Structure 1
Amino acid sequence: MSIDPLHVQFVTPGLRNRIDLYFAERGQGFNAAAYIRPRLGSILRLDAMSDADLARCGLTREDILPFVFEDCFADTAPPKRWSGA
């Protein structure tokens, strides 16, 4: 059985750099590809949205990666949509 290689075209210039920086800021010692690959579709769909569409979802462009990976990393700050209950 053979598996075709994954070919990805990023919609926004610099998106790959943003992804790499996001993971670099969270430390070394793990394979980021294992986290990125299953969520890449979500990243690309959100990145393809207009800023106005993202705002209607309560997100900014800078919020995309923290939103997509929010269950993967401990964060001391509550999520933006946290009600403070």
Structure 2
Amino acid sequence: MSIEPFYLHFARPGLRHRIDLFFAEKGQGFNPMPMVRSRLVSILRLDAMSDAELASVGLTRDDILPFVFEDCFGDLAASKQRPTA
């Protein structure tokens, strides 16, 4: 049995770059793709929302990755109300 390679195509330009930059800024010495894959549905769902929809749940587009990986890095301010993903 052969295993087919896994390729991701991001519909919104720049999302892959934002994910790479997010982890590069953390200075992590590991391959984050397994972690990204496990949360990709949440990332894509939030990224597909309009800016107004994100604002209605208390997020900006720049908050998406810190929110999704909050349990790992705790980026959002403790006082900020967080929606459930």
Which category of TM-score, normalised to the shorter sequence, fits these structures?
0.7 to 0.9
TM-score between both structures, scaled by the size of structure 2? 0.81
- 2:43 maps to what in 1? 43
CA contact (8 A) 2:66 2:74 kept: no
User: What is the count of residue pairs matched by the alignment?
Assistant: 82
CA contact (8 A) 2:67 2:75 kept: no
CA contact (8 A) 1:46 1:64 kept: yes
Query: 1:6 Cα deviation (Å)?
Result: 2.8
Q: Is 2:55 the counterpart of 1:60? A: no
Rounded to whole Å, the distance in 1 between the matches of 2:19 and 2:2 is: 28
What SS class does the counterpart of residue 59 from structure 2 fall into?
A: coil
Rounded to whole Å, the distance in 2 between the matches of 1:14 and 1:76 is: 21
Tell me the alpha carbon deviations over residues 5-29 of structure 1, each in whole angstroms, 9 at most, x when there is no partner: 3332212101100000000010131
CA contact (8 A) 1:39 1:68 kept: yes
Structure with the bigger percentage of helix: 2
**Unpaired segments of 5 or more residues in structure 1?**
none
Percent of pairs with identical residues: 67
Give me the CA root mean square deviation.
2.0
TM-score between both structures, scaled by the size of structure 1? 0.81
